[in-house]
Structure 1
């Protein structure tokens, strides 16, 4: 292999595929990136066998070839090269690779590309397109509510359900649930569970993409094609919870408030709440005032904000982290807290929008 490529393009490609590089693996070769040069394209691939990413970049090829290179080494070196400079890459005998740029040069011992495991990038199944902006919103508003670790792996993923031209993402971890809907130009039906960590990497890759993302779903895998990048992931096995059965509307208190004011108040109150094992903050809602309290052995915080309240006064406790996770992604100026009781779930929605529901369970207070 002998190629020349722009440093910006090379660095971008490495940064994208590094998201799938396995940090802890019984297969040392998976700590590397598969680099292939053919058809005037530099193709980079990384996988941890659950998640795989392949990305394409244009380059000038003098000689085609392939090699596996240690991800951290090549990534750190290329990142520190002058921006927009030309990088020359050449493979030598015994799986060595030489990278030159202006006055810099590095030689790295790699591995044969033949040793790299095949991945299912040729995923075949149902296929449809979704606006990248819609996909971004579906992920951003839900992925954080999935469980980090769980005895039931199904809850470490997000449910993707499509029915009647409506795409619904649902994530929950036993303490909160996030549900987001977006209209889609696909009249088929889909119900699969995708690892939340996969969706987070897709969110990072989407960035400013304003076009469409192609999604392909087979019995065991899901693929996302975003411009010149393909992300393929295993699907999670198991039956997802009946999320519609969790939704309630028998509210006794409905509270409207400004998003910025409650977010800033909860952030300040959470500074002391962190010393409590439940990150406890207490909302004491009376008439048109919401008092937000937290306390620890180091002191206490009291915040007061104006609210519009219908229904009963209520005093209820929450884990501040669960509220902040929601408040940090909301872009609407006003939110509504729909409360059933001090020991029952709270359903939070955005003003004048019915496409997003965030449910959070309260913490019992004495």
Structure 2
């Protein structure tokens, strides 16, 4: 096995697959990254038996071969290498991988590649194709609403509600909910079906995508989903569990609608959040209206009292409501439009935020009871 490449090319591959390396491997081989030199490419592979990621980078190959390196050590080594050409050499009668650069050399212990589990080749199943830009938009607008509480795994995922004519993505941690509807480039789905995929993994996959218009293909089986691009293969296990009926929690009407500038509201919420910096901060901001003025108040015994005013265009009733500022702040940061609607029905009914001119997306936020 012999090849050469640059440090940046190595970083791209190692960063891509490292997310699938097991933190607590059940077998020593699962602490490693599998490397296979082919004609002019190097295939990286890592898996924790629940998630598998395969990523290919271009190289200058001299001799094909396979090996497995310790993921943590290899990752740290690549980060410390200098920029420039790097040569790797593994002889058939040795288990040491030699790394040469600018007259220097280091050797790494390797593991037996025969012991490394191979990613299954999933061919049968239903197929969905999106653009990489759609996939990135989905993770940006929806993924942040998923929970990090692994005790209820279905809330850590993004629901894929796939129908022949459209696709919907939903994420919720029970305090807020993001909803996005889109169309597919192509699909073989004949009847509607739902499945849940881990949100953090999908966000990690989206970070590896660079070509907005290029396709990303999904093959969906009963228990797994294969995600493929020209350079990458990712296999995820479908999360088991009953996702809540999201349509039932979205209010169908509103009694108050405000049109507000995203930038102005985000800046006001950011300043109001200062009251939560003290130990007694509650993360709560209280919202009230007087004509076309939206007032945001927050306070804590340590920091003091904060009063912010934002101009809005309001129609309907004046409603006072309280929110956890983080849930409002995080949503405002993902909007790419200048203006949004905020629809309210009552002080204890979830508020709904929608981008103006874009009815594919909404964000629901549950109010805080303050009495």
- TM bucket (normalised to shorter chain) is over 0.9
TM-score of the two chains, using structure 1 as the length reference: 0.94
Displacement of 1:235 in angstroms is 0.5
Q: Does 1:237 align with 2:251?
A: no
Work out the CA distance in 2 between the residues paired with 1:114 and 1:321. Answer: 48
Aligned counterparts of 2:358 and 2:99: Cα–Cα separation in 1: 53
Provide the secondary structure at the position in 2 that maps to 1:134: helix
CA distance in 1, matches of 2:274, 2:47: 39
Match of 2:90? Answer: 91
* Residues 294-309 of structure 1 mapped to structure 2, 5 A cutoff: 294-297=298-301, 298-309=303-314
Who is 2:148 aligned against? Answer: 148
For residues 246-279 of structure 1, what are the alpha-carbon distances to aligned partners after superposition, in whole Å with 9 as ceiling and x for unaligned? Answer: 1212311111100001111111111222545641
Q: Superposed, which structure 2 residues align to 1:330-341 within 5 Å?
A: 330-341=335-346
Cα root mean square deviation, aligned: 1.8
- Written as runs of structure 1 = structure 2, the 5 A alignment for 1:186-265 is 186-187=186-187, 188=189, 189-265=192-268
Query: What are the residue-to-residue correspondences of 1:69-218 with 2, within 5 Å?
Result: 69-83=69-83, 85-92=84-91, 93-122=93-122, 124-187=124-187, 188=189, 189-218=192-221
- Superposition deviation, residue 150 in structure 1: 4.7
Deviation at 1:75, TM superposition (A): 1.9
Cα distance in 2 for residues equivalent to 1:37 and 1:156: 36
The aligned counterpart of 2:288 is: 284
The equivalent position to 2:326 in structure 1, one of 312, 321, 332, is 321
Which ranges in structure 2 are unaligned for 5 or more consecutive residues? none
CA distance, structure 2, for counterparts of residue 104 and residue 365 of structure 1: 65
The Cα of 1:308 is off from its aligned counterpart by 0.8
Larger displacement relative to structure 2 (157-166 or 348-357):
157-166
- Residue 368 (structure 2) aligns with: 363
Contact 1:3 1:61 (8 Å CA) reproduced: yes
Distance 1:11 1:2, change over 3 A: same
Any idea what SS the aligned residue of 1:238 has?
Answer: coil
Aligned residue in 1 for 2:59: 59
CA distance in 2, matches of 1:293, 1:263: 14
Deviates more, 1:342-351 or 1:186-195: 186-195
CA contact (8 A) 2:131 2:185 kept: no
SS of corresponding position for 1:79: helix
Moved more, 27-36 or 345-354: 27-36
Q: CA deviation at 1:28?
A: 3.1
Structure 1's unaligned 5+ residue stretches are none
The Cα shift of 1:214 comes to 1.1
Determine helix, strand or coil for the equivalent of 2:254: coil
**Separation in structure 2 between the aligned mates of residue 32 and residue 123 of structure 1, nearest angstrom:** 26
CA contact (8 A) 1:139 1:169 kept: no
| C-alpha displacement of 1:347 | 0.9
Aligned length: 365
Shift of 1:178: 0.4
Provide TM-score, normalisation by structure 2: 0.93
- Taking the aligned partners of 1:94 and 1:324, their CA distance within structure 2 comes to 56
Deviation per residue, 1:18-71 (Å, 9 max, x gap): 122222333332222111112332110011222211011222322222111112
What's the CA shift for 1:6? 2.9
